[in-house]
């Protein structure tokens, strides 16, 4: 279960309650239409899961993902969070970057006979992905024809799809109307996470339940938050997610892509608009970034994410050390309590310092909670995109760099 | 060797060449004074290194660091970068956060008989550090009296220093006038990195050489950059470091602390000032954050860091895959070339889009280059702090949260 609280200090909401309803309806209209497909994933991916039941996953113990951006960030986020509670989960190895040292190091971790390879690219021609795939084919002498240890996840009719058809390699498709950064609940996340042994059905259930609750009008705090962020977007244009759990670091990276790539756009009038996402980890970043939030410019709002029950009883021993006796007041407390008290104290210090904040509390680490917080952020992003009057779902700004690269490397 | 280029587009420099000289002189005065001590570390830590020669490091194969913020980020940064070229380096295990899952996981990695423990805290009473230390003492039944597998790194006369004296544990001190985030070239970094097998002398040499070159007037690009960032700090108030190498991720986290905690301050007039640091990794974040830089608000400047020669010849095989033949143009190129061309293309796309950028190129991964880029960023931070008229070296904003925490946890 997720619970929410907020301390939005500026109180400069743009719209009244009646308009909240309009915001909800405009999103419902988008959900019911054909242009934006991610809303239907929590339901439709259940059918996909049924088809996966025939997949013999016992054959392998390593799940290798070749993908970058939306083709890896969501999978990594879920893997990091659920691994500690999924004892039978298989090792996942991610090839993302074109960094030669990382590729070489990752190759050395792979046991070819135990590994299953997932090649993930929505467009089907991502240069990092295809280059690394070729490298793996050569290094491990992978047999392509009728391969049973290679799976392709891509758009229908993409180049990579044609490749899969030619070599008779099993292929899963991403709906055309689901963008990369909104695709984690499509085949992109569902297939490899199922293969790795995760309870994907519960992730989808958690997302479906939260989405239903939102459209049933029971999550109006989300409308309030979208409205607040929009209304203060000129002043508080940096949105920090401060997660109090190390394992949420990859989730914050997923958030950074979702937020930055969706909301940084030229608007209808050609004006540069956008909100800058930053991911922090508590308590570590209390010793780094916090000073800037408190005493720097008032250009940030902060969302805390914390986990109520880590299901871990590790406690600070009741030991007195000569010299540092003054730390004894914390003896016998659990680290679970310490990190949550640190979150609470940081939040209180922000409130006293006039920084807007809100909190999302996960009662525990669970598949349902992960599904819920994923759809929470996707819905929030869509809501803000709507009121900013931008196209939330494209990314035209990255094309120029690609063109320059291809030209410099001699592509025709 | 480091080389530099810049494309500062706004051209709104604040001062003329004569004033560059004043900036340099004001820093020289700070260096020659007693208040800010980091300038003297490249020289003084050489003496410390001599004393370490008697340390028998062959006894252990794991270096365990218990420290957070400035007591871990710099060590992690150097370890990540130099590990691939230091084949004999020992395993380093970092305990930073109060996250119970991470602490439990890290404990399971430690082999007590092969491990050496470094307890690092400038103040000597950091709550995360002392709590984790107590946990390790209990879990591994560590003998404290005359321990030869425990080292303490802290300020002279701190609580932790008194602890070390009481139990006769070997202690190294951080100069009083060196703040945590400027301390990586003090005992904080020097001792554990030496123990782990790194060539610390060359790191110090690289820092000393760059610092001398700067004060000899041969690195005026640094004055120009500080001036540019300051003059445009109201408009371009977010400073992105875009590193094209996975192993620089921890370096960008070190940069984020240095920049954010030093430059986010109330100024002499009580006004909130500051510059927001963001660390990105290329090419991965081309698929995430880049869209926002290109089409979002013009509030960012970007510094690219790239490595000319990764000393890795991994190449894209000359394979044609049916369906994706259009990616063949890149066959036979090395990944080293690909990632550098990606950096170059992204930089060119920023220039064409009107985003200010500059580039720092490391000719290779080397100890000297790491030392140089560390002191480069420390000097740059000091320069900007000077012109912003703030105290670059304190962090008063984080105290409130600590007070609230201690009160909530029942400390007297």
Look at B287 and A69 and tell me if their CB atoms are within 8 Å: yes
DSSP H/E element including B308: strand B300-309
**Residue from B77, B98, B259, B310 whose CB has the most chain A CBs within 10 Å, to mutate:** B98
B255, A366 Cβ separation under 8 angstroms? no
A127, A295, A396 ranked by CB distance to B266: nearest: A295
Decide if A97 is inside a domain: yes
Distance from CA of B145 to the nearest CA of A (A): 11
- Nearest residue in A to B252, CA atom: A288
Residue A405 within a domain: no
CB contact (8 A) between residue B97 and residue A339:
yes
Residues in chain B, total: 412
Does B45 have pLDDT greater than 80? yes
For residue B400, give the nearest of A317, A326, A349 by CB distance: A349
Confidence of residue B337 (pLDDT cuts 50, 70, 90): very high
* Disruptive mutation site among B130, B263, B287 for chain A (greatest number of A CBs within 10 Å): B287
**Which of B146, B179, B198 represents a domain boundary (last residue)?**
B198
Q: Choosing from A261, A265, A300, A378, which is the catalytic residue?
A: A261
Which residue do the tokens 């879920």 mark?
A78
Tens of pLDDT, residues A153-164:
999 999 999 999
Same domain, B324 and B360: yes
pLDDT (tens digit per residue) in A33-62:
999 999 999 999 999 999 999 888 889 999
Helix H or strand E segment including B150: strand B150-155
The C-alpha atoms of residue A45 and residue B71 are separated, in whole angstroms, by 46
Taking the alpha carbons at both ends of chain B, their separation in whole angstroms is 53
Residues A129 and A119: beta-carbon distance below 8 Å: yes
Q: In terms of domains, do A187 and A215 share one?
A: no
Cβ distance of A292 and B238 shorter than 8 Å? no
Question: Domain check: are B88 and B191 in the same one?
Answer: yes
Which residues in chain B have their CB less than 8 angstroms from residue A405's CB? 341-342, 345
Report pLDDT for B411: 76
Q: Which residues of chain A are within 8 Å of residue B284 when distances are taken between CB atoms?
A: 68-69, 96-97
B189 and B213 housed in the same domain: no
- Please tell me which of the candidates B135, B165, B290 has its beta carbon nearest to residue A316: B135
**A406 assigned to some structural domain:** no
DSSP character at residue A130: H
Over range A222-240, report the average pLDDT: 93
Pairing relation of β-strands B276-281 and B238-244?
Answer: parallel
Residue A385 to chain B, least CA–CA distance (Å): 13
Element (H, E) at B119: strand B115-121
Residues of A in contact with B323 (CB under 8 A): 159-166
Q: Would you say A307 and A360 are in contact if contact means Cβ atoms under 8 Å apart?
A: no
B273 and B167 within one domain: no
Which domain range does residue A48 map to?
35-198
CB contact under 8 A, B310 and A69: no
Q: How far is C-alpha A218 from the geometric centre of its chain's CA atoms?
A: 23
Q: pLDDT tens across A166-178, in order?
A: 999 999 999 999 9
Range B392-402 average pLDDT: 94
Q: Rounded CA gap, B277 and B238, in Å?
A: 6
Backbone angles phi, psi at A68, to 5 degrees: -140, 155
Cα A126 from Cα A128, distance rounded (Å): 6
C-alpha distance from B7 to closest chain A C-alpha (Å) = 16
**Nearest C-alpha of chain A: how many angstroms from B183?**
14
Cβ-defined contact of B131 to A246 (cutoff 8 Å): no
Q: What is the interface pTM, i.e. ipTM, of the complex?
A: 0.97
Counting Cα atoms < 13 Å in the Cβ hemisphere of A148 gives 9
A115 and A213 both lie in a single domain: no
Looking at residue B412, what is its pLDDT? 59
Candidates B134, B139, B402, B407; catalytic one: B402
- pTM of the predicted protein model: 0.97
- The answer to whether residue A320 is domain-embedded is yes
**Is the Cβ pair B327, A125 closer than 8 Å?**
yes
Q: Is the pLDDT of residue B331 over 60?
A: yes
Out of B246, B261, B329, name the one closest to residue A291 (CB): B261
Q: Is the pLDDT of residue B11 over 80?
A: no
**Residue-by-residue DSSP string for B47-78:** HHHHHHTT--GGG-SEEEEE--GGGTHHHHHH
Coil, helix or strand for B364?
strand
As a whole number of angstroms, the distance between CA B326 and CA B313 comes to 23
Residue A13 has pLDDT above 90, yes or no: no
Provide the percentage of residues in chain A whose pLDDT is more than 70: 97
B268 given a catalytic annotation: no
Indicate which CATH number applies to the domain containing B219: 3.40.50.10490
* Claim to verify: residue A190 and residue A274 sit in the same structural domain: no
- At B358-368, the pLDDT tens digits run 999 999 999 99
Please give the pLDDT value at position B8: 80
Distance separating alpha carbons of residues B184 and B182, to the nearest angstrom:
6
Q: Which residues contact B332 (CB under 8 A, 6 or more apart)?
A: B315, B316, B317, B318
| Res. A12: pLDDT tops 70 | no
A274, A316, A324 ranked by CB distance to B292: nearest: A274
Q: Please give the structure tokens belonging to residue B258.
A: 């240095």
Residues 6+ apart with CB under 8 A from A363: A1, A2, A3, A308, A309, A369
The number of distinct structural domains making up chain B is 2
Q: What is the DSSP letter of B90?
A: P
Last residue of some domain: A131, A166, A198? A198
Q: Does residue A322 surpass a pLDDT of 80?
A: yes
Element (H, E) at A362: strand A357-364
A134 interaction partners in chain B (CB closer than 8 Å)? 316-317, 319, 321, 331
Q: Are A65 and A10 in a shared domain?
A: no
Q: Is A402 a catalytic residue?
A: yes
A80-125 pLDDT tens trace? 999 999 999 999 999 999 999 999 999 999 999 999 999 999 999 9
The answer as to whether A140 is a domain residue is: yes
Minimum-distance CB partner of A162 among B323, B329, B342: B323
**Mean pLDDT, residues A19-41:** 95
- End-to-end CA distance of chain A: give it in Å, rounded: 53
Other C-beta atoms closer than 10 Å to the C-beta of A18 total 7
B117-151 pLDDT tens trace: 999 999 999 999 999 999 999 999 999 999 999 99
* Residue B95, helix vs strand vs coil: strand
Q: Does residue A412 form part of some domain?
A: no
Element (DSSP H or E) covering residue A184: none
Closest Cα of chain A to B280: distance in Å?
A: 10
- Say yes or no to pLDDT of B78 above 90: yes
**Which residues in chain A touch residue B354, judged by CB atoms under 8 angstroms apart?**
none
pLDDT band at B91 (very low <50, low <70, confident <90, very high): very high
Substitution target in A82, A299, A321 with the highest count of B β-carbons within 10 Å is: A321
Check whether A16 has a pLDDT greater than 70: no
Contacts of B297 in chain A (CB under 8 A): 237, 264, 272-274, 276
Task: Check pLDDT > 80 for residue A396.
Answer: yes
pLDDT of B275 = 97
pLDDT at A290: 97
Residue B300 has pLDDT above 60, yes or no: yes
- H or E segment to which residue A302 belongs: strand A300-309
A219 is catalytic: no
> Which of the four pLDDT bands, split at 50, 70 and 90, describes residue B159?
very high
Q: Which residue has the higher pLDDT, B9 or B403?
A: B403
**What span, in angstroms and rounded, lies between the C-alpha atoms of B360 and A395?**
28
Catalytic-role residue among B30, B261, B367, B378: B261
pLDDT in tens, A123-154: 999 999 999 999 999 999 999 999 999 999 99
Mean pLDDT of the region A8-21: 68
Q: Which two tokens stand for residue B178?
A: 């060196």
Q: How far is A57 from chain B (nearest CA, A)?
A: 26
- Interface with B, mutate which of A108, A293, A405 (most B CBs under 10 A): A405
Chain B residue whose CA is closest to A138:
B317
Q: Is residue A176 domain-shared with residue A295, that is, in the same domain?
A: no
Decide if pLDDT at B13 tops 80: no
Per annotation, catalytic residue among A18, A287, A295, A325: A287
- A298: tokens are 């008032």
Q: What mean pLDDT is reported for chain A?
A: 95
Question: Where residue B294 falls among pLDDT bands split at 50, 70, 90?
Answer: very high
Query: Would you say residue B10 has pLDDT above 70?
Result: no
Specify whether A239 is located in the same domain as A298: yes
Q: How far is CA A139 from the centre of its chain?
A: 31
Percent of chain B with pLDDT over 90: 92
pLDDT of B306 over the 90 cut: yes
CB contact under 8 A, A397 and B310: no
Q: Are B368 and B209 in contact (CB under 8 A)?
A: yes
Residues of A in contact with B83 (CB under 8 A): none
How many contiguous H segments (helices) and E segments (strands) does chain B have?
Answer: 14, 12
- Say yes or no: A51 and A86 in one domain: yes
Q: How far is A195 from chain B (nearest CA, A)?
A: 24
Q: With a cut of 80, say whether residue B16 has pLDDT above it.
A: no
| B273/A265 touch (CB, cutoff 8 Å), yes or no | no
- Mark yes or no for CB contact A323/B84 under 8 Å: no
Domain ends where: B145, B176, B198? B198
Are A187 and A218 members of one domain?
Answer: no
Show Cβ contacts of residue A47 under 8 Å, excluding neighbours closer than 6 positions. Answer: none
Of residues B103, B105, B408, nearest to A345 (C-beta):
B408
For the cut 60, the answer to whether the pLDDT of residue A11 exceeds it is no
In a domain, B406, yes or no: no
From chain A, pick out residues whose CB is under 8 angstroms from the CB of B333.
409
The 10s digit of each residue's pLDDT in B18-31 is: 688 899 999 999 99
- Asked if the structure places residue A408 within a domain, the reply is no
Q: Are A67 and A119 in contact (CB under 8 A)?
A: yes
Give the pLDDT score at B410: 85
């Amino acid at each position: 279960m997720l619970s929410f609280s907020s301390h939005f200090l500026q109180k400069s909401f743009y719209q009244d309650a009646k308009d909240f309803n309009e915001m909800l309806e405009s999103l419902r209209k988008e959900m019911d239409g054909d242009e934006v497909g991610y809303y239907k994933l929590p339901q439709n991916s259940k059918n996909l899961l049924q088809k996966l039941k025939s997949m013999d996953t016992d054959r392998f113990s390593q799940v290798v993902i070749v993908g970058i951006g939306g083709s890896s960030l969501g999978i990594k986020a879920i893997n990091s969070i659920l691994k500690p509670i999924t004892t039978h989960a298989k090792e996942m190895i991610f090839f993302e970057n074109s960094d030669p040292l990382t590729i070489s190091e990752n190759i050395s971790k792979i046991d070819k006979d135990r590994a299953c390879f997932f090649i993930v690219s929505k467009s089907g021609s991502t240069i990092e992905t295809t280059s690394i795939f070729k490298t793996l084919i050569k290094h491990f002498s992978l047999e392509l024809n009728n391969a049973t240890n290679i799976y392709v996840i891509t758009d229908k009719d993409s180049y990579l799809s044609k490749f899969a058809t030619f070599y008779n390699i099993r292929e899963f498709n991403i709906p055309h109307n689901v963008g990369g950064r909104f695709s984690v609940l499509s085949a992109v996340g569902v297939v490899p996470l199922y293969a790795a042994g995760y309870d994907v059905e519960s992730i989808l259930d958690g997302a479906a339940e939260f989405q239903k609750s939102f459209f049933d009008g029971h999550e109006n705090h989300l409308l309030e938050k979208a409205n607040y962020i929009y209304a203060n977007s000129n002043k508080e244009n940096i949105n920090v997610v401060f997660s109090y759990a190390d394992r949420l670091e990859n989730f914050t990276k997923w958030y950074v892509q979702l937020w930055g790539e969706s909301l940084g756009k030229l608007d209808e009038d050609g004006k540069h608009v956008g909100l800058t996402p930053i991911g922090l980890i508590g308590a570590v970043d209390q010793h780094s970034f916090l000073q800037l939030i408190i005493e720097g410019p008032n250009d940030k709002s902060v969302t805390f994410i914390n986990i109520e029950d880590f299901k871990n009883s590790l406690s600070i021993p009741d030991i007195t050390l000569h010299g540092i006796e003054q730390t004894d007041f914390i003896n016998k407390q659990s680290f679970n309590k310490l990190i949550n008290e640190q979150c609470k104290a940081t939040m209180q210090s922000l409130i006293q310092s006039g920084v807007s904040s809100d909190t999302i509390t996960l009662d525990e680490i669970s598949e349902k909670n992960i599904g819920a917080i994923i759809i929470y952020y996707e819905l929030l992003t869509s809501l803000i995109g709507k009121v900013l009057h931008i196209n939330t779902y494209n990314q035209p700004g990255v094309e120029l760099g690609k063109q320059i690269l291809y030209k410099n490397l001699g592509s025709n």
